Amino acid sequence: MSIITSPCKPKAPSGWQEGVARGVSQALTYAIEIQKTVEQVYGRGPQWTPGQWASNVGRGIWQSSLTAGFVYHAYFTIYNALYPSPWAGAVAAFATSVVKVPIGNCMRVLQATSAPTIVHIGINMVRKRGPAALYSGYFLSLVEDVIEMDVRMRIYYALVGPPSDAGGTASLATASPITGVMIGTLAGSVAAAVTTPFDTMRSQLAFMNNSGTHRMANGKYMTSIQVLGHICKKNGPLALYRGAHLRATSIGLKAALYFACLEGLKAQDPKALAIERPRSPKSKASPSSHVAAP
């Protein structure tokens, strides 16, 4: 069942559980994300000393974790507020893309360079090209996110069970953290395999925008389609899958940790469990129902 288009029953009005789970999983897989991005941009993994690795991870891990948690919290808060509208997922994805795309572009540059923060990178991009630089690859990002989330949630709910049926009748779709790890690994890895070309192009665009190296002979900047042609012409179509094994590992682990944390949080939240339990339809009170209890 797709969280993007299906009328899933929200577990809680706020997306704080999803935000916390995403922030934790993002932090625990950040080193793999660095390795993947550097390989996508430079065609090889980082040649760093242990000290440089520690510096780069320490510099970006908190920025990555906090921003990812914020975006997921915003997404699921909007989704839950709009339910049961069939457009809830689409509206949430579009609304959060306003902040998600600039953050994602700046994070990719942070992982591939020595810039101190995503704020410094954002300012540098705007200075060189204007605000449009922050939104380079916007369509790619939107398509990638929709596909990745859709594939991940379809697999997860196909194996665990949907949170509710199409009519809105609640059902218990909770899994143990261990089950969340196993299913999340499978779901995340499949999603990564499908969307890696989009991710590679986004990394290239973000790096080119920051460095100012993606101008063509006429002085104009490359579009997403032109970057696709540039990558394929220079290194062949397989270059779109640079770091695919790292991305599959990263997203697989991230999804596993995310679902494990989420299921653990659900188990500790009595309100979420109460929302999941089905209610019987109200009926008119009979005379016997007013008899006082002994």
More confident residue, 71 or 169: 71
Residue that wins the pLDDT comparison between 150 and 175: 150
Question: 152-181 pLDDT, tens per residue?
Answer: 767 776 776 655 444 443 343 455 667 767
49 pLDDT tier (thresholds 50, 70, 90): very high
- Full set of structural domains in the chain with CATH: 16-166+173-276 (1.50.40.10)
* Residue-by-residue DSSP string for 112-128: HS--S-HHHHHHHHHHH
| Tens-place pLDDT, residues 182-203 | 777 777 777 777 888 888 888 8
Report whether pLDDT(86) > 60. yes
- pLDDT tens digits for range 121-136: 999 989 988 898 899 8
pLDDT at 38 over 50: yes
pLDDT band for position 120 (cuts 50, 70, 90): very high
| Axis crossing angle, helix 30-42 with helix 177-211, rounded to the nearest 10 | 40
103-112 mean pLDDT: 92
pLDDT above 50 for 6: no
Residue type, 219: G
What is the average pLDDT value for the chain, to the nearest integer?
77
According to DSSP, residue 215 is labeled: B
pTM exceeds 0.75, yes or no: no
Cα(172)–Cα(161) distance, rounded to whole angstroms? 8
Residues 231 and 196 sit within 8 Å (Cβ to Cβ): no
pLDDT at residue 277 tops 70: no
Amino acid residing at 279: R
Per-residue pLDDT tens over the stretch 212-241: 665 554 556 677 788 888 888 888 888 888
Asked if residue 98 has pLDDT above 70, the reply is yes
